[in-house]
C-alpha cells in the first residue's frame, strides 16, 4: 500500500495554471509592452473596421425593424472580437464562423461582404457563398460548427497540410456535448485548431454563471489536454496576440488552443429578443464603460493618430459604404423558397427529391388558400 508523505495523505496530482492577456485597459492605456504587430497602421485599420462593423450593425437592426431583413444577431460591443479574427487570419486558413462574426466577414469576405451578410439574414442562401472558398458558412445551430471544424482540422492533418482551422462559438455553445467531443478529439489528435469563444456573458437570457459552474470557460481546455487561455475580448490587440500565439503552437505541432474572449453583449440577443426583461440597466451601463471601440479610439487620440475631423470623415465613409451595400441587397429580387436547396450539395442526392416535392405541395396549398 502506498502512503502519502503528507499529514493529511493528500498530495497534488497535477498543477495547472491559466493565463489572462490584456494590453489595453478600459481607458485605452497600454498595460503591457506594445507588441510588434500593433503598428500605427494596424491600429488604424482595426479601428476603421470596428467602426464599420458598428455602423453596419445599426443599419441591419434598422432594416429588420422596418420589415426589410429577417432576424438579425447584433454584434454591438463585440466588434474587437470579429475584427481581431479578420486581421489575424491568413488567407488560406479555414474559418468556421458562428452567427455573430460580422467584423470578421468585413475583412475576410471580399468587397460585397455586407451585401452577402444581408442576403443571408434576409433568407437568401446565396449570401452564404462568399470569401475564401475553404471557409464555412454562418452556422446558427449551436455548437454544430465545432464538430465540422474538428473534422476539417483532422482532414488537414491527415493530408499533411500546413493550414489551420479557426472556429468561433458562444459561451452557451461551450455547454453542449458537441463542444466537449470536438475539444476531446482535438486534444487526442493534436489538431491544428483554434477555438475562439465569444464569452459575451449571456446565452439569450441565461447568464454565464447559470450555464457553467467553473470559474472560467478557458479551463475546459484542461480536461481535453488542449492549451487554454483567457483574454480581454474588448481589447483587439489582446485577442490578436492570443490568435498569433495559437498559430505558433499549431506550427510547432503542439496542437489546439482554446481562447476564451471576455466580451459583453451590449445589445439584445437578436432582433427577436428584449434583453431589458432579464438584466438591469445598471449592468449594461457598467459594461458600456469597457466597450472596445471607444477604448481603441482613446488610444489613437493619445498617440496623436486621430482627431475629430478624421472621426467625422470615417463615420461618413462607413455610412456611405453600408448604404451602397444595402441598396445592392434591396435591389436583388427575393429568392424563391426552392432556392434554399440550391447551395447545399455539389451533386444532388436523389433522396432529396422527396423534400423538394413536399415543398412544392406546400407552396401550392399556400397559393390556393391565398
Ligand atoms: C442546436 C440549437 N439549440 C438551440 C438553439 C437556439 N439558440 C439560438 S442562440 C442560443 C443561445 C446561444 O448562446 P451563446 O452560445 O452564448 O452565443 P451568443 O448568442 O450569446 O453569441 C440558443 C439556445 C439553436 N440555435 N441551436
Q: In terms of residue numbers, what domain contains 120?
A: 19-335
Per the CB < 8 A criterion, the answer to whether 245 and 216 are in contact is no
Which of 100, 249, 269, 295 is catalytic? The answer is 269
Structure confidence at residue 3 (pLDDT):
54
Query: Do the domain assignments include residue 65?
Result: yes
Among candidates 320, 303, 279, 283, which has minimal Cα distance to 59?
A: 320
pLDDT score for 4 = 54
Top mutation candidate among 74, 81, 100, 142 for ligand 1, by most atoms within 8 Å of CB: 142
Catalytic site includes residue 278: yes
Among 182, 324, 203, CA closest to 256? 182
> 343-357 burial, b if ≥16 CB within 10 A, otherwise e?
eeeeeeeeeeeeeee
Active site residue 345: no
pTM of the model: 0.95
Which residues of the chain are modeled with pLDDT < 70?
1-6
**Going by C-beta distance under 8 Å and a sequence separation of 6 or more, which residues neighbour residue 232?**
20, 21, 22, 23, 24, 238, 239, 261, 262
Cβ of 200 closer than 6 Å to ligand 1, yes or no, is yes
Give the active site residue among 265, 279, 343, 365. Answer: 265
Q: What is the pLDDT of residue 1?
A: 44
How far, CA to CA in Å, does 143 sit from each of 98, 105, 115, 140, 184?
Answer: 8, 19, 26, 8, 14
Q: Is the CB of 173 under 6 A from ligand 1?
A: yes
**Residue 265 annotated among the catalytic residues of the structure:** yes
Residue nearest to atom 18 of ligand 1 (CA): 170
Judge if 156 and 39 occupy the same domain. yes
Residue closest by Cα to atom 4 of ligand 1: 142
CB contact set of 348 (below 8 Å; sequence gap of 6+): none
Return the C-alpha cell found at 8: 493529511
Q: Which CATH number goes with the domain that contains 243?
A: 3.40.50.970
User: Do 193 and 186 meet the contact criterion of CB atoms below 8 Å apart?
Assistant: yes
Q: Give the closest residue to 46 by CA, choosing from 77, 80, 75.
A: 80
Domain-located, residue 46: yes
Ligand 1: does its nearest atom lie under 6 Å from the Cβ of 228?
no
Contact between 129 and 337 (Cβ < 8 Å): no
Count the domains in the chain. Answer: 2
Residue 350, pLDDT score: 95
Task: Tell me the three cell numbers of residue 114.
Answer: 455586407
Nearest CA to ligand 1 atom 7: 142
- Give pLDDT, residue 6: 66
**Are residues 148 and 266 both part of a single domain?**
yes
Q: Which pLDDT belongs to residue 5?
A: 59
Residues 268 and 362 in one domain: no
Distance 370 CA to ligand 1 centre (A): 34
252/187 same-domain check = yes
Our answer on whether the CB atom of 203 is closer than 6 Å to any ligand 1 atom is yes
Question: 30 and 73, same structural domain?
Answer: yes
Amino acid at each position: 500500500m502506498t502512503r502519502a508523505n503528507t499529514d493529511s495523505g493528500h498530495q497534488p496530482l497535477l498543477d495547472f495554471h491559466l493565463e489572462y492577456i490584456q494590453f489595453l485597459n478600459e481607458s485605452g492605456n497600454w498595460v503591457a509592452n506594445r507588441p510588434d504587430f500593433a503598428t500605427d497602421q494596424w491600429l488604424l485599420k482595426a479601428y476603421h473596421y470596428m467602426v464599420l462593423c458598428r455602423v453596419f450593425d445599426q443599419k441591419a437592426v434598422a432594416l429588420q425593424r422596418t420589415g426589410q431583413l429577417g432576424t438579425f444577431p447584433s454584434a454591438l460591443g463585440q466588434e474587437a472580437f470579429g475584427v481581431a479574427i479578420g486581421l489575424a487570419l491568413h488567407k488560406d486558413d479555414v474559418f468556421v464562423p458562428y452567427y455573430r462574426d460580422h467584423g470578421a466577414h468585413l475583412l475576410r469576405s471580399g468587397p460585397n461582404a455586407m451585401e452577402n451578410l444581408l442576403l443571408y439574414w434576409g433568407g437568401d442562401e446565396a449570401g452564404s457563398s462568399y470569401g475564401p472558398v475553404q471557409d464555412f458558412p454562418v452556422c446558427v445551430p449551436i455548437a454544430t460548427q465545432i464538430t465540422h471544424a474538428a473534422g476539417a482540422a483532422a482532414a488537414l492533418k491527415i493530408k499533411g497540410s500546413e493550414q489551420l482551422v479557426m472556429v468561433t462559438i458562444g459561451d452557451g455553445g461551450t455547454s453542449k456535448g458537441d463542444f466537449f467531443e470536438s475539444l476531446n478529439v482535438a486534444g487526442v489528435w493534436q489538431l491544428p485548431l483554434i477555438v475562439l469563444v465569444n464569452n459575451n456573458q449571456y446565452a439569450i437570457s441565461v447568464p454565464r454563471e447559470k450555464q457553467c459552474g467553473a470559474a472560467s470557460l478557458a479551463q475546459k481546455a484542461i480536461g481535453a489536454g488542449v492549451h487554454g487561455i483567457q483574454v480581454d475580448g474588448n481589447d483587439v490587440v489582446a485577442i490578436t496576440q492570443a490568435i498569433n500565439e495559437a498559430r505558433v503552437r499549431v506550427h510547432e505541432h503542439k496542437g489546439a488552443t482554446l481562447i476564451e474572449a471576455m466580451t459583453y453583449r451590449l445589445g439584445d440577443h437578436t432582433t427577436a429578443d428584449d434583453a431589458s426583461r432579464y438584466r438591469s440597466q445598471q449592468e449594461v451601463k457598467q459594461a458600456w464603460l469597457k466597450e472596445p471601440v471607444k477604448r481603441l479610439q482613446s488610444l489613437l487620440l493619445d498617440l496623436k493618430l486621430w482627431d475629430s475631423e478624421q472621426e467625422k470623415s470615417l463615420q461618413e465613409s462607413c455610412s456611405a459604404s453600408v448604404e451602397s451595400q444595402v441598396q445592392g441587397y434591396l435591389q436583388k429580387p427575393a429568392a424563391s423558397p426552392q432556392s434554399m436547396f440550391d447551395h447545399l450539395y455539389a451533386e444532388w442526392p436523389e433522396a432529396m427529391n422527396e423534400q423538394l416535392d413536399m415543398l412544392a405541395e406546400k407552396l401550392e396549398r399556400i397559393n390556393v388558400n391565398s
